[in-house]
């Protein structure tokens, strides 16, 4: 039998597997995968920008967020305005026509509308004085103001005031005047009921500021020799002002500090606690696990708002003081069970994997197993929980400040700013839109970043590629 060998000795090969690319750590790999998701990347940039806005912003935009500018109340976003200097307002006596009776001997059935309606002096946003000719048979006049030309008796606008006799023939208006057109209408009255005729005058006041106030606000040097009538630049409010003339941009920055402090501190603390708690329960399992998890179930049942109020009282936080610390503590104490459950589930699963068994057989100690094998594998879940917890915490803060449980005035937070803004939503939408937009963008950015991180960090997703 010719025995030909089926096997021959192979040629010794020197070729080994070529490592053509540098080896990647878990984090480097995650980063590459994160970069592939544009959404996540943009969100990351937004989060970084928010951080800069909060930390660096106040250093660049050094405006006191509590400073009230009553000359520019509820201004929409705009470029810097200027105003003319005027003297201090002094209430003058109402003009009285000495030749006209206070009340007519008898009221006619129809009292005509006054004629000769005119502006006395300069019409400025500090003060508008209008005057008219007295009407025979009038026992007083009613003064209305509107922002468009009246279309009829029902469209005269705001009833500013009344003069109570027929010979008082002027009215001083200072009621929240802006640089816009006003239509003043005058109706004669019999001292009680108004007649059905009116005359209207259009007035366009010039923006004005008193010299004393300009100096006080630092718009002029104290020893400035600027004369009345000169122009002066008013404070610049790029995002407009709120209902007390406070700078929106400065308030948003200050508010961001509160909102992001709560939004980052609270989740960080309770996620950390949740990891320890859940990890402990999951790793040791059995009786320890059931006991710990039943306690977590118990904590879930506790009402957050009630505890928040209890903490506020227990801490002796009086009225008018910030409720941020009790809010933080209530959140940390009551929000961890979610994370704990998640981490426990993850640990339970990983604990039974083959490589853990193998490592244990090779003599690995508990702490080595936890640090080297279990924690890194739960990292994905943890980071994702964290990124989702941030918007949740920002929302909670916003909600609590919205109902008045959070910051104390004048400190703003985005939530309390929304609360104020919603009251003037129709007339001054910017007061609501800006803080609401910041909350929305922040929450969205953290959510999308969370999404991106889930994909980047999850090892199962990696194997699918």
Partner 1 sequence: MRTPLKQLIALFLLSLANATVLSAEFETTAVDYDNQEITIALTQEPPQLNGMKATDQVSIMVLGHVMEGLVGYDRRGNVVPGVAERWEIDDKGATFWLRKDARWSNGDPVIADDFVFAWQNTLKPETASEYAFILYPLKNGEAINQGKMKPEDLAVRAIDDYTLKIEFERPTGYFIKLTAFTSYYPVQRKFFESKSDRYGADADDLLYNGPFRIKDWVHSASLHMVKNEHYWNKDAISLNAINAEYITADTRSRLNLFIDGKIVLTRLDGETYKDALTQKFRIRRFTTGSVFFLEYNHRPERITRNVNLRKAIQHVFDADEMVNKVLATPGNLPGKSLFPVWLGGVNDKFRKEYKAPEATIDIALGKKYLEQARQELGIDKFPPLVLLVSDSPTAAKQAEYMQGLLKARLDLDIKIDIQTFKQRLAKMTAGEFDIVGAGWGPDFDDVMTFGDLFASWNLNNRGRYSNPEYDKWVRVAMNSADPQVRMDAMGQLQQILFDEAVILPQYEQGVIYLLHPKVSGVARRVVGPDPDFSHARVIK
Judged by CB under 8 A, the stretch of 113-121, 144-152, 306-314, 341-349 that binds partner 1 is 144-152
Pairing of the two strands 118-124 and 127-131: antiparallel
Pairing of the two strands 208-210 and 82-86: parallel
Nearer to partner 1, 91 or 464 (CB): 91
Interacting residue with partner 1 among 24, 49, 52, 175 (CB under 8 A): 175
Contact between 39 and partner 1 by CB under 8 A: the answer reads no
Contact between 410 and partner 1 by CB under 8 A: the answer reads yes
Nearer to partner 1, 397 or 420 (CB): 420
For 4, 61, 162, 260, the CA distances from 7, given in Å and listed in that order, are 9, 82, 118, 71
Contact between 309 and partner 1 by CB under 8 A: the answer reads no
Interacting residue with partner 1 among 120, 160, 356, 364 (CB under 8 A): 160
Nearer to partner 1, 175 or 358 (CB): 175
Contact between 110 and partner 1 by CB under 8 A: the answer reads no
Residues 55-74 vs partner 1: string with x where CB under 8 A? -----------xxx-x--x-
* Contact (Cβ atoms closer than 8 angstroms) between residue 293 and residue 341: yes
Token pair belonging to 228:
């009345």
Contact between 409 and partner 1 by CB under 8 A: the answer reads yes
Contact between 320 and partner 1 by CB under 8 A: the answer reads yes
Contact between 426 and partner 1 by CB under 8 A: the answer reads yes
Interacting residue with partner 1 among 41, 265, 408, 441 (CB under 8 A): 408
> Least CB distance from residue 382 to partner 1, whole Å?
40
* Contact (Cβ atoms closer than 8 angstroms) between residue 128 and residue 119: yes
Judged by CB under 8 A, the stretch of 231-239, 247-255, 423-431, 435-443 that binds partner 1 is 423-431
* Phi–psi pair at 296, nearest 5 degrees: -65, -40
Contact between 12 and partner 1 by CB under 8 A: the answer reads no
* Contact (Cβ atoms closer than 8 angstroms) between residue 65 and residue 140: no
> Least CB distance from residue 197 to partner 1, whole Å?
14
Contact between 157 and partner 1 by CB under 8 A: the answer reads yes
DSSP-assigned letters across all residues of 46-89: HHHHHHHHHHTHHHHS---TT---TTSTTPPS-SPPEEEEEPPP
CA–CA distance, 182 with 161 (Å, rounded to integer): 15
CA–CA distance, 461 with 459 (Å, rounded to integer): 5
**Site size for partner 1 (CB under 8 A):** 40
* Contact (Cβ atoms closer than 8 angstroms) between residue 27 and residue 383: no
Contact between 176 and partner 1 by CB under 8 A: the answer reads yes
Site for partner 1 in 239-278 (CB under 8 A): 243-244, 246
Looking at 315-353, list the stretches that DSSP marks H as alpha helix, in order from N- to C-terminal side: 324-351
* Contact (Cβ atoms closer than 8 angstroms) between residue 129 and residue 120: yes
Q: Single out the residue of 81, 43, 416, 426 nearest to residue 259, CA to CA.
A: 416
Nearer to partner 1, 247 or 289 (CB): 247
Contact between 404 and partner 1 by CB under 8 A: the answer reads yes
* Contact (Cβ atoms closer than 8 angstroms) between residue 56 and residue 251: no
Nearer to partner 1, 289 or 420 (CB): 420
Contact between 219 and partner 1 by CB under 8 A: the answer reads no
For 15, 224, 235, 298, 302, the CA distances from 289, given in Å and listed in that order, are 52, 76, 62, 14, 21
The contact set with partner 1 (CB under 8 A) reads 66-68, 70, 73, 89, 91, 146, 151-162, 174-176, 192, 216, 243-244, 246, 318-321, 404, 408-410, 423-424, 426-427
């Amino acid at each position: 039998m010719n025995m030909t060998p089926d096997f021959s000795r192979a040629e010794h090969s020197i070729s080994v597997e070529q490592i053509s690319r540098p080896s990647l750590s878990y984090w480097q790999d995650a980063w590459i995968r994160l970069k592939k998701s544009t959404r996540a990347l943009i969100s990351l940039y937004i989060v970084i920008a928010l951080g800069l806005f909060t930390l660096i912003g106040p250093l660049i935009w050094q405006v006191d967020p509590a400073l009230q500018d009553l000359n520019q109340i509820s201004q929409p976003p705009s470029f810097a305005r200027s105003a003319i200097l005027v003297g201090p307002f002094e209430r003058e006596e109402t003009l009285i026509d000495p030749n006209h009776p206070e009340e007519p001997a008898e009221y006619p059935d129809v009292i005509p509308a006054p004629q000769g309606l005119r502006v006395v002096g300069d019409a400025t946003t500090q003060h508008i004085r209008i005057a008219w000719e007295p009407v025979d048979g009038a026992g007083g006049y009613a003064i209305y103001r509107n922002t468009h030309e009246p279309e009829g008796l029902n469209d005269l606008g705001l009833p500013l005031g009344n003069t109570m006799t027929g010979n008082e023939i002027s009215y001083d208006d200072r009621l929240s005047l802006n640089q816009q057109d006003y239509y003043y209408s005058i109706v004669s009255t019999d001292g009680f009921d108004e007649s059905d005729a009116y005359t209207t005058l259009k007035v366009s006041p010039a923006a004005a500021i008193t010299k004393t106030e300009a100096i006080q606000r630092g718009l002029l040097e104290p020893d400035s020799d600027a004369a009345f009538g000169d122009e002066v630049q008013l404070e610049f409010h790029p995002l407009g002002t709120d209902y007390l003339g406070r700078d929106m941009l400065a308030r948003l920055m200050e508010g961001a500090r509160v909102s992001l402090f709560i939004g980052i501190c609270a989740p960080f603390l309770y996620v950390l606690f949740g990891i320890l708690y859940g990890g402990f329960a999951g790793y040791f399992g059995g009786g320890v696990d059931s006991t710990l998890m039943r306690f977590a179930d118990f904590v879930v049942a506790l009402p957050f708002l009630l505890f928040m109020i209890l903490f506020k009282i227990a801490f002796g936080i009086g009225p008018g003081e910030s409720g941020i610390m009790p809010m933080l503590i209530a959140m940390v104490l009551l929000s961890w069970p979610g994370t704990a459950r998640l981490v426990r589930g993850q640990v339970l699963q990983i604990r039974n994997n083959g490589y853990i068994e193998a490592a244990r057989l090779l003599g690995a100690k508990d702490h080595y197993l936890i640090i080297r094998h279990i924690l890194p594998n739960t990292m994905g879940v943890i980071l994702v929980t964290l990124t989702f917890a941030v918007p949740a915490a920002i929302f909670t803060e916003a909600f609590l400040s919205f109902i008045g449980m959070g910051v104390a005035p004048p400190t703003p937070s985005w939530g309390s700013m929304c609360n104020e803004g919603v009251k003037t939503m129709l007339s001054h939408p910017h007061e609501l839109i800006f803080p609401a937009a910041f909350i929305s963008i922040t929450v969205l950015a953290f959510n999308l970043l969370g999404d991106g991180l889930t994909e980047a960090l999850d090892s199962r997703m990696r194997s699918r590629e």
